[in-house]
Chains A and B, each alone.
Chain A
């Protein structure tokens, strides 16, 4: 299941709600996405991402430093972001 806050058309107003760029209306971040859903690049969708042992933590394998990261970090501006093959 996908949620609004994972959608590229979702502009987050705050931690609970945002604006849909297509429908121009305020929607809840945790609301279920609609047929216009377009996946937002996030670490959890990146091929360099490996989940960690603790909840909400993972590792970025894009660099040798293997930096800590987290699944919901947006990857819109990350130069290393590559969609994972699903």
Chain B
């Protein structure tokens, strides 16, 4: 029988410990804080648990039909009319018990493909999908229910349902039409056109090889071209849709035929305003279709209470389709409607509601004061809102949805922070948002506290109480660090300190530029709110995480060690460097050189993809929401947003790179106990172990020795015992600092299509699993195919032996304000933070990291044994959530490599 690495090390006197600062109690411990949502939200959440991820062809069909009928129209108007056609034809569905209504599609958890972005998947799978559609299976309740083990994922076809990408189900009777629609976009999609032109970049073959070898995870321009940004609800809240249409009509008349000094794009304003009007009319029709449906249900409903609720829904929708909201409920509904409209306009992950508790505060405050609302009613709405956000699915390819997103959509709601004049910005409504997050545990929206020392202690302790539910939210983000980053990146576009204080998190943890806008409660509301002007925050920047999507740093090192050749595929990725690598500086220099080459070619090709996107697929609805598009008449494609310097270079595997460099520096160049060739051979032979995919586990401890694998034991032992990041050890920490200082500077040498410098983004999302799977063994002792360390500042599992404060010192050896973010995840046993004293310890722990200058910290408060149990019996853990990397996800809906990685993370038994 094969021996596992954990056994081998135990025999060598080097036991692998994944528990630190004590031992876990003998009994498996559950989370301390557990509450239940109100009956309405509970029913709706239970429905979600039973619901499959479902795709429909309705939106793509009507969009394509509208678009194809308008050959020759001005591109922005053509797109607007296609969107209008699609929105106006969506079938409205309202479910009994819903207070908040409307969704992406007519299913409870619906979504749809956008072949105008990329149709290649459907063309490649055409025969397979078509056959699946024609093969009628036997539909049965039993077959449907067995998907419980994968949550709502439709992992295979059954009955009249065809599985797409192992995630979404689509009715077989829709498949042939979907394939027809996809075919219509062949040669016209952003993917196809982008590919045509990106090949004109000199050295394009390097990019092709980079993608094949999984040095980079995915292209940016046609996969998720928007998102990782903060939405702005302000304009419809302030003016209503009728008001915005009127505004656009007035501006259209003012700019028609006028360049106004801008010979390049001045004339475009006319078409842009025309497009804005069309899209707004489409969104209005969509809302009113739901109102009609509510009236239909009201008329048929026998139950008086449900009948009244349908009437209330209809009244709300009939009003907000035209006017600014009068009440808290209408404001909540309108914000949700706007959110879904943006999500339907483009393939988006990480569309964050921003500081929603501060946006909705005016209605909450005034309704409460006027006796129109109670806190319990507000809480019920907020719980329903959580279920609605959790129902959002993003339809993209398997690689993107599974490999990067883990099925999550990253709608991050920010709390706290500062006001424009520097006072704590948290409010009572934000406390209710936290409470809704505690009572109604769901994956969306995830929560982030914009931490500032001035935030009141009770608010912060409420946040800590929420963390103790084990939901993984809220994360703590350093407000000061975020503001300094924004001023550095957007100062050239005029950002001031006051404006920087409007910051919120877009997506997982992407620091995003925002602005304050003056909201006056509408005088035309007819229900006479008490008036008053409020400064409310909202997003004002382009998507902040587009550009170079995830470069695998350990893979770069592998290519350096093997002269540019990928060890998994034998493919040459980079031209041979031919250097002997006889010194450590030479090695590090080559790592930087290959990384820079990757960034160069990927930034150029992604610039082209995004340029193609913005020519034919520009955001119109999202644009009109963002300052200052309505004022200046320019949309996202003409840099109408207030902040446009938003492209980034994302990295993955930082800690494995640093630990590997530390091992090489010490063993090969310092102590000289291993030659570089010996190291290469050991890596090539995976230190004598099988590959992770052979073993079926992606965790280091579970890896199994090959029968003849002992010859590499010495080298492997030396690699595993070499200095490791996370222990306040200057040896690896100095390598991290040198890397970060170089990285943060070098990204700014590259120019985005918006003629602005790139910046680094250091989060892993879920890429550390597939990128680890594609990477050979690394000199830090990690074995081939196993998952990298998560995030960017988390220690590799089991290697942080000196406690959390030592880890914090290591993590903050560099200046986090130079990067859009950094990410640190900690797993803590529930017993370590039990009770009031435990809560205070957890707060102090977070505070300590923030004061040291760390940007982000988040916690999994969980007993690892519970996760192993859930892996063994998933059907009994449908509601179990864990924090992955910047997002919370249902355990049963994440892939095994990430499950293994979360289990393996060091578990702190004390803090």
Contacts of A28 in B (CB 8 A): 139, 141, 144
Contact of A30 with B160 at beta-carbon distance under 8 Å, contacts A16-B169, A77-B289 already known:
yes
Most A Cβ at <10 Å: residue of B53, B69, B171, B297: B171
Interface residues of A in 1-17 (CB under 8 A from B): 5, 11-17
Q: Is residue B2 within 8 Å, beta carbon to beta carbon, of the partner chain?
A: no
| Nearest residue, chain B, Cβ from A57 | B176
Q: Is residue B159 within 8 Å, beta carbon to beta carbon, of the partner chain?
A: yes
Contact of A69 with B89 at beta-carbon distance under 8 Å, contacts A16-B159, A28-B144, A56-B133 already known:
no
Among B160, B170, B173, which residue has its beta carbon within 8 angstroms of that of A70? B173
A71 and B173 alpha carbons, distance in the complex (Å): 8
A12 touches B173 (CB 8 A): no
A76 touches B177 (CB 8 A): no
Contact of A72 with B174 at beta-carbon distance under 8 Å, contacts A14-B54, A21-B96, A28-B139 already known:
yes
Q: Is residue B107 within 8 Å, beta carbon to beta carbon, of the partner chain?
A: yes
A78 and B108 alpha carbons, distance in the complex (Å): 21
B144 touches A55 (CB 8 A): no
Report the minimal beta-carbon distance from A15 to chain B, rounded to whole angstroms. 4
A16 touches B161 (CB 8 A): yes
A74 and B51 alpha carbons, distance in the complex (Å): 21
Q: Is residue B839 within 8 Å, beta carbon to beta carbon, of the partner chain?
A: no
Contacts of A17 in B (CB 8 A): 50, 144
Contacts of B107 in A (CB 8 A): 12-15
Interface residues of B in 91-106 (CB under 8 A from A): 91-96, 106
Q: Is residue B58 within 8 Å, beta carbon to beta carbon, of the partner chain?
A: yes
Interface residues of A in 51-86 (CB under 8 A from B): 54-57, 63, 65, 67-74, 76-78
Contacts of A71 in B (CB 8 A): 173
Report the minimal beta-carbon distance from A27 to chain B, rounded to whole angstroms. 10
B52 touches A74 (CB 8 A): no
Contacts of B133 in A (CB 8 A): 55-56
Q: Mark B26-69, 1 if CB is under 8 A from A, else 0.
A: 00000000000000000000010011111101100100010001
B95 touches A15 (CB 8 A): no
Report the minimal beta-carbon distance from B391 to chain A, rounded to whole angstroms. 10
Q: Is residue B777 within 8 Å, beta carbon to beta carbon, of the partner chain?
A: no
| Nearest residue, chain B, Cβ from A12 | B107
Contacts of A22 in B (CB 8 A): 300
Q: Is residue B134 within 8 Å, beta carbon to beta carbon, of the partner chain?
A: yes
Interface residues of B in 144-163 (CB under 8 A from A): 144, 152, 154, 158-161
Contacts of A5 in B (CB 8 A): 171
Contact of A19 with B141 at beta-carbon distance under 8 Å, contacts A57-B176, A70-B177 already known:
no
B169 touches A14 (CB 8 A): yes
Q: Do most interface residues of chain A lie in helix, strand or loop, or is the interface mixed?
A: loop
Contact of A14 with B69 at beta-carbon distance under 8 Å, contacts A70-B174, A70-B176, A70-B177 already known:
no
A21 touches B297 (CB 8 A): yes
Contacts of B158 in A (CB 8 A): 16
Among B51, B92, B174, which residue has its beta carbon within 8 angstroms of that of A14? B51
A77 touches B144 (CB 8 A): no
> How many residues from A make CB contacts under 8 Å with B?
33
B89 touches A77 (CB 8 A): yes
A26 and B171 alpha carbons, distance in the complex (Å): 18
B169 touches A13 (CB 8 A): no
Contacts of B374 in A (CB 8 A): none
Q: Is residue B882 within 8 Å, beta carbon to beta carbon, of the partner chain?
A: no
A14 touches B91 (CB 8 A): no
| Nearest residue, chain B, Cβ from A70 | B177
Most B Cβ at <10 Å: residue of A14, A54, A70: A14
B176 touches A21 (CB 8 A): no
A73 and B176 alpha carbons, distance in the complex (Å): 12
Contacts of A29 in B (CB 8 A): 139, 160, 171
A14 and B108 alpha carbons, distance in the complex (Å): 6
Contact of A68 with B177 at beta-carbon distance under 8 Å, contacts A13-B108, A30-B139, A30-B160 already known:
yes
B177 touches A69 (CB 8 A): yes
Among B95, B173, B301, which residue has its beta carbon within 8 angstroms of that of A56? B173
Contacts of A67 in B (CB 8 A): 65, 69
A13 touches B47 (CB 8 A): yes
A24 and B303 alpha carbons, distance in the complex (Å): 11
A65 and B68 alpha carbons, distance in the complex (Å): 10
A21 touches B300 (CB 8 A): yes
Contact of A15 with B54 at beta-carbon distance under 8 Å, contacts A65-B69, A74-B91, A78-B89 already known:
yes
Report the minimal beta-carbon distance from A11 to chain B, rounded to whole angstroms. 5
Contacts of A24 in B (CB 8 A): 96
Contacts of A73 in B (CB 8 A): 57-58, 61, 177
| Nearest residue, chain A, Cβ from B173 | A72
Q: What are the 6 closest A-B residue pairs judged by CB atoms, nearest first?
A: A70-B177, A14-B52, A15-B169, A14-B54, A56-B176, A15-B54
Q: Which residues of A contact B (CB under 8 A)?
A: 5, 11-17, 19, 21-22, 24, 26, 28-30, 54-57, 63, 65, 67-74, 76-78
A-B contact pairs, 14 of them (CB 8 A): A12-B93, A13-B47, A13-B95, A14-B108, A21-B297, A22-B300, A56-B173, A57-B177, A70-B57, A70-B61, A73-B177, A74-B58, A74-B106, A76-B289
